[in-house]
Amino acid sequence: MPTDIAVPLRDTLQRLSNRKSACSEATVQADIRQLLLTGGLGLAEENLEVNLESQVGGRRRIDIEVGYTVIEVKKSLASMATVRDAEIQLADYVDLRTRETGQRYVGILTDGREWRAYQIHDGVLTEASRYTLKTGRPDLTSLLYWLEGVLATRAGISPTPAEIRERLGAQSTSFALDKAGLAALFHAHGSMPTVQLKRQLWADLLRGAFGTQFAESTELFLEHTLLVNSAEIIAHMVLGFDVADLQPGTLLGGEHFRLARISGVVEHDFFDWVLEVPGGEAFIRTLARRLARFDWRQVEHDVLKVLYESIISAETRSRLGEYYTPDWLAEQVVAETVTDPLRQRVLDPACGSGTFLFHAVRRYLTAAEQAGMDLADAIEGVTRNVHGLDLHPVAVTLARVTYLLAIGRDRLRDERRRSVHVPVYLGDSVQWRPEDEDDLFSDGQVVIATVEEGPQLYDNKLRFPETLLADAAGFDNLVDELTELAASPRRPGAIPSLTALFNRRAIPPEHREPISNNFALLCRLHDDGRDHIWGYYVRNLARPRWLSRPENRVHVLVGNPPWLAYRRMPADMQRRFRELCETRGLWHGKEVATHQDLSGLFVARTVQQFLSVGGTFAFVMPNAALDRGYFAGFRSGLYADKVELTTVAFTRSWDLRRLRPHFFPRGAAVVFGQRTGPDRGASELPISTLRWIGRIPKQGNTWNAVAPSLTFEPAQLVLHDSMTLESPYEPRFFQGATFIPRVLFLVERKPTGPLGLPSGRRAVRSERSAKEKIPWKHLPSLEGVVESEFLRPILLGETVLPYRLLPPREVVVPIQGTQLLDGVHPQLDLYPDLARWWRRAEKIWLDNRPSERLSLAEQLDFRSKLSIQMQPSPLRVVYGASGMHVAAALVDDPVPLCDKALYWGTVNSRAEGHYLCAILNSPSLTRLVRPLMSYGKDERHIDKHVWKLPIPLFDGTDDLHSRLAELGQRQAALVDRLGLDENADFITLRRLVRKALAAGPYADEINELVVFLLDQ
């Protein structure tokens, strides 16, 4: 998009955005044409004309036509009648052009300010996307991105992460149009038997790994379809194919890859159902045209993960436990682990989009080139040595394309190379269902059941001789050829001869009968409308179990396992997860059961199944794996089940939590180890670690680009299991009450009007905040009058600075003495103003609460956090429940309540309060407690972790305690003298206070005394 916009174009945009302008429809039309021609939309480069008044017969004219888009222009879209009439007209034009050309046309309806994009589905015009220019300072760049997504007229766009997100991501016009088109196809034809079969197999796969939470999601199935279809089209363009010249069937079926003797990349799968429904081929052509805007030959890294993350929501990825590793980290992990690439067989058992595979492949090929290996042997060798598995069908497709990118376009186009088979498979590395292990291999055969429901009219199992799997490419190609022959033209019920195939592939006589029986079953499946997919299913289901055979296990396991917390698993998955963990000594239970994570089990299972004794592993893990109690079983390195004892010797770890910004929503680490035999046994993860510190540069994709910004230091881990609640202050501190949602409790004073109010009453309304969450942010404020005795000051997290309190806010809270007057309390109606307010609040809560478990009063007094504050405490110390630094202050007013963002505890004297504030506010305390804190995006959850440090009770006769109390009082006085604007942002104020304290005369002494106190 142009960055230097010419003044005439800005003037044009101002006219278009100004709805009050008296421009005629013809002027609007001319302005839009000018915008299209001069807005950097690539029309000149593609030699596309912007035609005005294109005739379509019957004296009808299309206002503007460009490429595969027709634009209907109106002077104003303010009238619904105008919009309805224009939509009827636009539908006629779009339908006509689509039937004339066989291409999917898009329609735009606009008055220059408002832009609406439409598609035709089964004769019905459907809006897919909308954009509105803001009056005053219209955003030209955003409009041009929106328009280009509809027109798809640019060419040669560099596939950078930013461009992929902007033009193809979930917020783009391209995505909106393609998703709407795909949804319409599925809605109209999803009941077809072949479509139902593929969706069901997709659902079964996700159900087996993730329970029922995703299996019924049509939206996710459509997003997966769009991603896989896109990746397969991109795979062609990476190798230089002009997709405009290719038929949709060949794009999704991989015919040109087979002709090029490249297998295992593009194939018939769950997601080519699009080709089986009317209108599907036109959809694929349009999708290919949108993707062809990019010059995919420029791709050098795993950018397809950017496409995935741009389309699949962060919430869905979190529920799947998916966090994709940055290239620079994967590159360094591979470099540390794959030390002899030409001899080590490497597997990433959770390969995702293929980041680790990319660097493992590049490492092998670099070593092969340095060793003078022939190119053909190098390519053949890397596909024998570097393997990928993933249970996510979309990830597998992306990883296969990434594998090709790693080999490189020049190597693949070299005439010296032989056949290439990409060894990336769809498979369950954990083997969630134990019956799969028992049933898949039987009597020297691989057994695949093809029909699970309905009457069994014939044997429904495919059986292949197990020895055929030794040659992965040969087995996959054999299955491919059998499924293609089964789908070839023949008389119904006829079974063609396989003699020619047997002779050409030199199939031994003892294997011919079972293969012939399989072929007969595939023919029957095709006749029943259940063909093609079984070849895909067989190849992918068999390979993980083949790799788990002791003689086939690899030398190196590397990757990033799914980080799926127990609390996010559905119930059926939780049961199986707990069973597998308890068997292997990985289940911690207790109060931290909900924090337990799939990653530990995943590593234990994949080491057990895929790693040879003496082999090494490296996995990117949640940082909690290094020191949290619920990973204690994992760190032990001893994993036993009913079949065998698996032992590992952990060798070292990298602690990445000090890197900024975090590349995952949680802190990360890398653990390294080796699988040991019975003679050596297990070795626990060492408490010594290598801590990485630094800020990752924004443009850092490679290790060489990132490494100069990092520093590395040896450090000692503090194991959570070894920590007890050592401070006697721990039971004296409580979390504040749950005044959430704040819109129902927090209030601000409202003007009373000229007549005022009777004594003892206050007019109030909800205090609103930009930080409110859905649904509360969209609800109207509460307004009314309440008796003043039910207005209480409240201390929030943002009202506490180090050593100082900001003015408290106010809440409406139905406390009378030491009683909470909920909606059914008989005394509530003695206070009519409060009763009206509270019952309105209760109704809003009941209509919008996240679960039906708690009433509003129960939410407010959850775990008695409000009741315990009803008895006044003359002196309290409060500190924030979260933050990058501990902030604490002394409260000498017994009236204010504390919100859940604070912890509070009583003290017996001001000296004791100053003593605690000096300790809690010291930077050394924050540094010491941070390793004990729960991990989020940063170590922010202070909670009661401070009391895991041995902070002793205040003793006024102890000189050290007394000195800390004196210094705390002096720090409080210093902060009181600061000229702070108490209306400023509290984060800014905290920063100013910390800066002033650090520059003051007492900071160093306090830090030294705190460290000395805790060392004692």
Does residue 321 surpass a pLDDT of 80? no
pLDDT of residue 434: 55
- CA 997 to chain CA centroid, Å, is 40
- Cβ–Cβ contacts within 10 Å for residue 500, how many? 9
Q: Regarding predicted confidence, which is higher, 41 or 674?
A: 674
Within 10 angstroms of residue 408's Cβ, the number of other Cβ atoms is 16
Torsion of CA 148, 152, 158, 159, to 10 degrees: 100
pLDDT attached to residue 539? 66
Residue 437 confidence (pLDDT): 47
Helix axes 161-168, 304-311, angle to 10 degrees: 40
Dihedral over alpha carbons 539, 540, 543, 548 (to 10 degrees): -150
Whether pTM > 0.85 for this model: the answer is: no
Which of 317, 403, 311 is closest to 354 using CA atoms? 403
Rounded Cα gap, residues 725 and 943, in angstroms? 13
Lowest mean per-residue pLDDT among 266-275, 321-330, 438-447: 438-447
DSSP 765-785: EEPP-TT--TTGGGSPPPEEE
- Is 572 exposed, middle or buried (CB count within 10 Å of its CB: 0-12, 13-18, 19+)? middle
Ramachandran angles phi, psi of 285, nearest 5° = -60, -45
Residue 144 has pLDDT above 70, yes or no: yes
Give the residue from 280, 286, 279 showing the smallest Cα distance to 99: 279
Phi-psi region of 791 (alpha: psi -120 to 50; beta: other; left: phi over 0): beta
Q: Measure the CA–CA gap between 976 and 804, rounded to whole angstroms.
A: 7
Is residue 306 over pLDDT 90?
no
Q: What is the pLDDT of residues 353-411, one digit of tens each?
A: 899 999 999 999 999 999 999 999 999 999 999 999 988 888 888 899 899 989 988 89
Question: What stretches of 272-354 show up as alpha helix (H) in DSSP?
Answer: 280-291, 304-311, 314-320, 327-337
What local confidence, expressed as pLDDT, does residue 853 receive? 75
Q: What domains are there in the chain, each with its CATH number? A: 7-155 (3.90.1570.30), 182-426 (no CATH), 434-543 (no CATH), 554-722 (no CATH), 730-1015 (no CATH)
Kind and range of the H or E element at 97? Answer: helix 80-101
Contact indicator for 948, 725 with CB cutoff of 8 Å: yes
Q: Are the beta carbons of 574 and 595 closer than 8 angstroms? A: no
| Share above pLDDT 70 across residues of the chain, in percent, rounded to a whole number | 89
Read off the pLDDT of residues 676-695 as tens digits, 9 standing for 90 and up. Answer: 987 888 999 999 999 999 99
pLDDT in tens, 821-848: 877 778 888 899 999 999 999 999 988 8
Is the pLDDT assigned to residue 215 strictly greater than 70? Answer: no
